[in-house]
Amino acid sequence: MKTQFSFSYGGIPFSQLKYDSEKTDSGCIYRFSDGLVIEQQITEYPEYGAVGWVLYLENTSDSDTKLITDLFDCDTVFDMEENPPKARGFKAEPETSEIVRMLGPVNGSFYYTDDAESAKEFSFAGEYIHPGQSKKYTNIGGRSSDGLMPFFDYHRGDRGVIAAIGWTGDWQAVFTRDVKTAGIKTGLQNAAFVLRPGERLRTSSILLMEYGEGQVRAGNTFRRLIKNHFSLIGRPGRPEFGPLAFEAWGGLPSAEMIRRLEALKAHGVGFEYHWIDAGWYGKSTLPVNDLFSGDWSRHTGDWSINELYHPNKLSDVVEQERSSGMKMLLWVEPERVIKGTPDTVAHPEWFWGEGDNLLLNLGNDEALQHTFETVCEKIDTLNIGCYRQDFNTSPTGYWRGNDRENRAGINEIKHISGLYRLWDMLLDKYPSLIIDNCASGGRRIDIETLKRSIPFFRSDYQCVFNAEPEVTQVHNNIARYLPYNGCTTKTKGDIYAARSTYSSAWGGAFWNAGFQTMDEADLNLARDIVEEYKRIRPFFSCDYYSLGSNVYDPSAWTVWQYDRPEKGDGIILAFRRAKSPCAASNFIPGGIAERKSYEFHDRDCDTKLILTSEELLRYGLPIAIGQKRASKLIEYRVL
């Protein structure tokens, strides 16, 4: 794959510019006579057939550069076999080149009104592309996965390229097709700027992975690439697994938090993090028993602990967490700040915006340092093992509304670079810390955030107390690209709902609000569910196969398989949905090794079945679920 990029400089295309180039151990440096320097840092992943790169632009002169426009950090072309001819009046043949994209989070109002619309999150959409055509895609609002995920599969038949964009702001992707070639261009949506003397900045990164053995195999290769070279989970000093967390609403009084933690401990419910969500801070004097009550949101930006709810500033909660073998997972939203909170009064120059909702400018060094120190103070005093950063606003208007002449995109670039610096500083200072990247649930997922965080709360659909499990099942499509992501259930005593949310990180939110209750039976079942999840969670970051329906269809089955070929074992989770008339079916598992025998253990019925690989590939694995809205957990191993 050619590691090419393009831009115009003073109105002249890069291909027509004169420059000196120098290869380095990490890539290449391009030097222009007027002092502009572009450093391209390239990383190759030969085991995966992948390559990634990022650009750094620097002005080494004592005057402004010329105007930089049409900046595409990736602008590459690769060979692609000719499309089959398309006759008029006929649909395109299946071997026609296609761009497969993954939809991002939808408008959150649908979470409470329309399950089918909510289930479009992380679903797939394909679009054929013919010679001479161009297809352009963008996210919306300044959060990298809002509306559309920055992951694309550009293929013809079994051969193609997976392209993943690394930019946590506004990006664009343009795909082109010629008779025997295909093109990919990616970069920032808004970039038309000069560089000031001495100024150095970075733009978006790109990861391209070529494949030639089909999309399913490519998806698992990409998952392994992300797991082994991008994610922090399992790195030396970091936790081996994503968070396994019990949620408490932040406005729940400390005494009640402690009572619930004591009950979990007494019943052996083995959560590893105590997740304190929003509402724990500020000067609110109203009861705040759940997400939908009180005025907690009016105090966002005041990160003093609310002593009305937490008279000991959570120190007693921390002690109970330690006694229960837990660390804290704490919610903070540093970038979206309400006007009138202390920092906005003391340092108005740190913020953008005219109304009540202000945006903290992380491109301001003082603001960045203050945010870092604020978060560090909470980590140090509250025994935080996972820092949960949320971001509940669309920043595009703030950035562009404050751009100066010939500096379009600079505010965005510096803000996003500041976000990366903040997270890098935290991870450097705290070698065991995990960062949970929330952003209204899954709206800031890209390869740059995956390097630094985990999307533990992949969709705010989980905020709904009676969330439909068949929607969360569809959201598991995100596993096609992400080996580490999370989901949560708020429904107690419901194994179907819990299994529908099982992921490589998982949360129990069935006792987080003031009105929720748990009796002895509920606590015992919670213990069993957590024990089951802990037993099988090593598989959720392994190879993934979707064997059933991956769309919202209450009449269908959905079946997930997670396979660990290194040890010859895995799990299958099968769901007979609420309106499915089918009580049994056969499914052909993925990753089956030739000339082997497999033992399948049905954990719900405690029965075992041995089948050869030949039988599995010819007839499939029979699975029977006698009632609607029920599930099966099957563990298997090679004999």
pLDDT in tens, 491-512: 999 999 999 999 999 999 999 9
CA distance 254 to 311: 8
CA distance 559 to 555: 13
- Residue pLDDT, tens place only, 430-463: 999 999 999 999 999 999 999 999 999 999 999 9
CA distance 487 to 504: 9
DSSP 95-149: TS-EEEEEE----GGGGGT-HHHHTTTT-EEEEE--TT-EEEEE-STT-TTSSEE
Tokens read off for 601: 């253990």
**pLDDT surpasses 90 at 397:** yes
Tell me how many degrees the CA angle 85-89-93 measures, rounded to the nearest 5: 40
User: Range with the lowest mean pLDDT among 208-212, 237-241, 288-292?
Assistant: 288-292
Provide the whole-model pTM.
0.97
- The predicted structure's pLDDT at residue 87: 82
- The predicted structure's pLDDT at residue 288: 87
3-state secondary structure of 466: coil
DSSP bridge pairs for 631: 575
pLDDT band at 287; cut points 50, 70, 90: confident
Q: Rounded to 5 degrees, what are φ and ψ at 602?
A: -80, 105
- The predicted structure's pLDDT at residue 219: 98
DSSP 447-462: HHHHHH-B-SS--GGG
Of 27, 1, 66, 52, residue with least CA distance to 204: 52
Of 332, 283, 549, 320, residue with least CA distance to 435: 332
Percentage of residues of the chain with pLDDT beyond 70: 100
3-state secondary structure of 144: coil
**pLDDT surpasses 90 at 1:** no
**pLDDT surpasses 90 at 289:** no
Q: Work out the number of other CB atoms within 10 angstroms of the CB of residue 262.
A: 13
- Tell me the Cα Rg of the chain: 25
Mean pLDDT, range 480-486, rounded to an integer: 98
CA distance 279 to 245: 18
CA 201 to chain centre: 25
DSSP bridge pairs for 281: 305
Mean pLDDT, range 36-53, rounded to an integer: 98
Is 66 within 8 Å of 52 (Cβ atoms)?
no
Helices (H), 383-446: 396-401, 410-429, 439-442
Tell me how many degrees the CA angle 543-547-552 measures, rounded to the nearest 5: 115
Mean pLDDT, range 384-413, rounded to an integer: 98
In angstroms, what CA-CA distances link 415 with 37, 167, 455, 606, 618? 22, 11, 20, 54, 55
pLDDT band at 543; cut points 50, 70, 90: very high
Of 442, 320, 304, 455, residue with least CA distance to 386: 455
Is 51 within 8 Å of 43 (Cβ atoms)?
yes
pLDDT band at 558; cut points 50, 70, 90: very high
Mean pLDDT, range 239-256, rounded to an integer: 97
Percentage of residues of the chain with pLDDT beyond 90: 97
pLDDT band at 178; cut points 50, 70, 90: very high
- The predicted structure's pLDDT at residue 415: 98
DSSP bridge pairs for 408: 192
Distance from first CA to last CA of the chain, Å, rounded? 41
- Residue pLDDT, tens place only, 60-102: 999 999 999 999 999 999 999 999 988 888 888 989 999 999 9
375's enclosing H/E stretch is: helix 365-382
Mean pLDDT, range 349-375, rounded to an integer: 97
575's enclosing H/E stretch is: strand 569-576
Q: Work out the number of other CB atoms within 10 angstroms of the CB of residue 515.
A: 8
Of 445, 461, 416, 541, residue with least CA distance to 102: 445
Tokens read off for 198: 């001495």
Is 504 within 8 Å of 231 (Cβ atoms)?
no
Is 248 within 8 Å of 271 (Cβ atoms)?
no
**pLDDT surpasses 90 at 263:** yes
- The predicted structure's pLDDT at residue 608: 98
Q: Work out the number of other CB atoms within 10 angstroms of the CB of residue 615.
A: 13
614's enclosing H/E stretch is: helix 613-619
CA distance 139 to 121: 13
**pLDDT surpasses 90 at 33:** yes
- Residue pLDDT, tens place only, 324-337: 999 999 999 999 99
Is 353 within 8 Å of 297 (Cβ atoms)?
no
Tokens read off for 509: 């939110």
- The predicted structure's pLDDT at residue 4: 97
Amino acid at 368: L
Mean pLDDT, range 235-264, rounded to an integer: 97
Q: What is the DSSP letter of 411?
A: H
Q: Who contacts 365 (Cβ-Cβ below 8 Å, separation ≥6)? A: none
- The predicted structure's pLDDT at residue 238: 97
CA distance 169 to 144: 5
Of 27, 52, 47, residue with least CA distance to 38: 27
Q: Who contacts 61 (Cβ-Cβ below 8 Å, separation ≥6)? A: 34, 35, 36, 197
CA atoms within a 13 Å half-sphere pointing along the CA-CB vector of 78:
21
Mean pLDDT, range 11-23, rounded to an integer: 96
CA distance 514 to 517: 8
Q: How many residues can be counted in the chain?
A: 639
The order of strands in the sheet holding 407-408 is 12-13, 6-9, 68-72, 192-193, 407-408
Q: What is the DSSP letter of 281?
A: B
